[in-house]
């Protein structure tokens, strides 16, 4: 298989396991490229990409932009705060106006779940979802899978724990789909108020005791507490959260094995993860950031490989 | 109804003779290979390059740098035509700065792959010199001004004909030989 089954990357849910494998293996080639003395290839030189960010982002946005530049694409950046969106323009109008300037691909982050799916139905360009509300964040899940496999080999049969604010996390949902499709076992851990009801129907399990959950897993992906998305109090205080669900060295030292620690960033040091864990040799947080560029290059390359009919 | 006409262009014997001769030509020019690297063009050229590399190491008892380069991301036919490009790995674990590079491919046809591979190579630094070695040269089909410095066999073919290099161990009953294939209407 040398091409994706889809024209857009809207979510991991729509992808086949073969698609995921193709993206991961292509990213490996790009990882080699971004470690060369000259880190740039001319592949997308006749392609223009618009980065539409209707929500704040540093990591993802810089990572996408770097990936586009390493592939020689022309890039236009757009952020909602400095645009006509403030004047009341609709999403479709905004995007159509940008496309009228001959843009081939759109990378979009939007606070509303499903916004990229809506765009994909109405406009003639490849759409890449860079996070839509609490729904999906497919490139994050891909780079997490890539980073895990780089350290401990094929995900098939591996045990991955996702800890934290599952309810508000698009990273969690995309990770669940991605890990399951690649054959891993997935468990969730967090305050019961932040774990959606019936989430087990996705073929995963829930463990409320953090120590037991850590003992079970090979890899722990620690999520940020997303206070900006929480309208009500889901737990008494950040300190209480850190006490019951924070990943710290004391908890890791009690384990009979060494597990891998991931975090999608930005980190709230001392809340969901302590500094000594985040900066330890078990943590692959900075590998995740490096691999993010390779993964995004692979996604851009593979989607551009298929022209829009 | 299509019928494929297949003829052997180079049999195993001739192929091994050419491989040995090309090896000696390089030894004649490069002596101890201390500032030389052999780099195969992925995917098919890398197989041939590995064999040539082994042959020269056997004859000279020298250790020679070896790498593989993938031209995919530098190709000029991305998003043009129906072919979907598939990337292969690039494996160069040495600095090419100031080295003499012998770039190896199996068939030299339009010259576009070699152009892309040379561009890819330049991402690793500035080699002192790059030479091209190919097993087969389809000399009347060039679309760019690129010629091989070392050559196994030169053939005159029309564009519709395919030249296929087969290597031992690639599948059932595969041996080292070169085919010329032509699709004929029945």
Which residues of chain A are within 8 Å of residue B120 when distances are taken between CB atoms?
A: 41
CATH of domain A12-136+292-304: 3.40.50.1370
Put simply, the answer to whether B74 touches A41 (Cβ < 8 Å) is: yes
pLDDT digits (tens, 9 = 90+) for A137-149: 999 999 999 999 9
Q: What is the tens place of the pLDDT at every residue in B92-141? A: 988 899 999 999 999 999 999 999 999 999 989 899 999 999 999 998 88
Tell whether ipTM is more than 0.85.
Answer: no
Pick the CATH number of B12-27+35-77+84-156 from 3.40.50.2020, 1.10.287.3610, 3.40.50.720, 3.40.50.300: 3.40.50.2020
- A37/B124 CB distance under 8 A: yes
Q: Which residues of chain B have pLDDT under 70?
A: 1-2, 185-186
**Domains A12-136+292-304 and A138-288 agree in fold:** yes
Determine, for residues A37 and B89 on separate chains, whether the beta-carbon distance falls below 8 Å: no
Spans of chain A, pLDDT less than 70:
1, 82-86, 230-231, 306-309
B79 close contact with A: CB closer than 8 A: yes
Chain A closest-CA separation from residue B14 CA (Å): 35
Is A36 an active-site residue?
Answer: no
Do residue A307 and residue B119 have CB atoms under 8 angstroms apart?
no
Q: Give residue limits of the domains in chain B.
A: 12-27+35-77+84-156
- Rounded CA-CA distance B97/A25 in Å is 29
Catalytic-residue membership of A21 = no
Q: Answer whether 0.90 is exceeded by the pTM.
A: no
Which candidate in A59, A69, A117, A229 is catalytic?
A59
The domain locations on chain A are 12-136+292-304, 138-288
Q: What is the pLDDT of residues A151-160, one digit of tens each?
A: 999 999 999 9
The CATH class of the A138-288 domain is alpha beta
**In this complex, which of A3, A28, A36 lies closest to B123 when CB atoms are compared?**
A36
Q: B136 vs chain A: nearest CA distance in angstroms?
A: 27
pLDDT above 70 coverage of chain A, percent: 95
Interface of A with B (CB under 8 A): 2-3, 26, 28-29, 32-33, 36-44, 46-47, 71, 301, 304-307
């Amino acid at each position: 298989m040398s091409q994706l089954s889809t024209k857009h990357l809207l979510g991991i849910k729509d992808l086949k396991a073969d698609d995921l494998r193709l993206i991961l293996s292509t990213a490996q080639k790009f990882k080699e490229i971004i470690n060369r003395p000259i880190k740039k290839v001319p592949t997308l030189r006749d392609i223009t990409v618009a980065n539409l960010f209707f929500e704040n982002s540093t990591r993802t946005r810089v990572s996408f932009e770097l990936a586009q530049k390493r592939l020689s694409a022309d890039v236009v950046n757009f952020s909602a705060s400095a645009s006509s969106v403030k004047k009341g323009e609709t999403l479709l109008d905004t995007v159509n106006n940008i496309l009228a300037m001959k843009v081939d691909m759109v990378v979009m982050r939007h606070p509303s779940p499903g916004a990229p799916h809506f765009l994909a139905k109405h406009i003639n360009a490849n759409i890449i979802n860079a996070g839509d509300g609490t729904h999906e964040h497919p490139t994050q899940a891909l780079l997490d899978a890539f980073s895990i496999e780089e350290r401990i080999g094929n995900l098939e049969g591996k045990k991955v724990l996702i800890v934290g604010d599952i309810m508000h996390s698009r990273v969690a949902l995309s990770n669940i789909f991605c890990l399951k499709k690649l054959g891993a076992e997935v468990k969730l851990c967090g305050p019961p108020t932040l774990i959606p009801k019936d989430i087990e129907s996705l073929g995963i399990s829930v463990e409320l005791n953090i120590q037991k959950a850590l003992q079970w897993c090979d890899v722990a992906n620690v999520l940020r507490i997303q206070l900006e998305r929480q309208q009500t109090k889901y737990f008494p205080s950040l300190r209480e959260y850190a006490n019951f669900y924070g990943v710290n060295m004391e908890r890791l030292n009690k384990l009979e094995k060494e597990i891998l620690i991931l975090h999608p960033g930005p980190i709230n040091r001392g809340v969901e993860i302590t500094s000594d864990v985040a900066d330890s040799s078990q943590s692959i947080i900075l590998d995740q950031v490096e691999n993010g560029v390779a993964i995004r290059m692979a996604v851009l390359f593979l989607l551009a490989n298929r022209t829009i009919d | 109804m299509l019928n494929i006409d297949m003829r052997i262009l180079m049999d195993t014997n001739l192929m091994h003779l050419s491989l040995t001769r090309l090896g000696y030509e390089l030894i004649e020019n490069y002596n101890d290979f201390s500032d030389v690297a052999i780099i195969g063009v992925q995917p098919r050229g890398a197989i041939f390059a590995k064999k040539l590399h082994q042959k020269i190491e056997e004859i000279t008892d020298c250790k020679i740098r070896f790498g593989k380069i993938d031209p995919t991301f530098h190709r000029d036919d991305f998003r043009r035509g129906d072919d979907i490009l598939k990337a292969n790995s690039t494996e160069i674990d040495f600095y090419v700065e100031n080295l003499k590079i012998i770039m190896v491919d199996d068939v030299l046809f339009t010259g576009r792959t070699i152009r892309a591979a040379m561009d890819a190579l330049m991402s690793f630094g500035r080699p002192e010199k790059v030479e091209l070695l190919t097993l087969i040269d389809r000399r009347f089909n060039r679309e760019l001004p690129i010629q091989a410095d070392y050559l196994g066999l030169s053939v005159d073919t029309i564009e519709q004909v395919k030249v296929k290099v087969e290597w031992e161990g690639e599948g059932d009953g595969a041996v080292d030989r070169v085919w010329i294939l032509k699709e004929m209407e029945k």
